[in-house]
Amino acid sequence: MKKVALITGASSGIGKELAYVHAKQKGDLVIVARRQTELESLKTELESKFGVRVKVIVKDLTKREAPQEIYDELVQSGISVEYLINNAGFGGLGKFHERDWKSDESMINLNVMALTALTRIFLPDFVKRNSGKILNVASTAAFVPGPLQAVYYSTKAFVVSFSQAIAEELHDTNITVTALCPGATKTEFAKTSGMESTVLFKKAYSSKMVAEDGYRGMINGKLLIISGLKLSQKLMMAFVPFSPRKLVLKQVRRLQEVQ
């Protein structure tokens, strides 16, 4: 297989668009998600349109054993991954003490544990051959606490911190680690998280644009990519570190509130 990208959460949204971007570069793919029908449809389209090879792995990454099962299946198939793209994740709206704990536990398992486990499992192979790229999809939510999405924002803060830490650990190798931080993006996330009617998602950016930004940043070995923000939002983010924390918290909460 040509340079293989493993993409989690590839059945829709940013993950699906990342698959298109990589296939356009004539790279082969391993696409992972829970929904087999969507994955098989994407496989057929990419192979037909771009002449690449696509392997489908149907897996629920909220299950602790899933990352190792994915790796083992690829080893048995003789597939070596060059680009690891940890995209799968979800959020959820509501006060922490009122939300269903099982849902938040699954969120942590997917957004943090699966991403970290996949990185830990695949990275030794990257180091052994001294090549490879990792793209971890975080969020601009990583840079502030998130009232009404306390767990989601916290998981994305972990992703950025983790990505940058291991990037520095790998400074003397040919391996790069990039954190992609999209703003509000047109994906299934808004619907599944209950945020469709919030101010934040009224003028969301396209997942295609975000995917292109992230992929380009990964290829260029960038440490951090912020995508899908208007100028006013970028200015607001720039002032966050200098603003009173209570004011920031109130502003973030208001953005999460359903209109």
Q: Where are the alpha helices (DSSP H) in the chain?
A: 13-24, 36-50, 66-77, 101-108, 115-129, 150-169, 189-193, 207-219, 231-239, 245-256
- Decide if 156 is catalytic: yes
Angular region, 28: left φ>0, alpha ψ -120 to 50, beta rest: beta
CA distance 104 to 79: 33
16, 59, 156, 186: the catalytic one is: 156
CA distance 182 to 70: 26
Q: What is the CA radius of gyration of the chain?
A: 18
- Decide if 152 is catalytic: yes
Q: Give yes or no for a contact between 24 and 218, defined as CB atoms under 8 angstroms apart.
A: no
Instruction: Give Cα separations from 240 to 130, 155, 161 (angstroms).
Output: 38, 19, 18
20, 152, 153, 215: the catalytic one is: 152
Write out the catalytic residue numbers. 152, 156
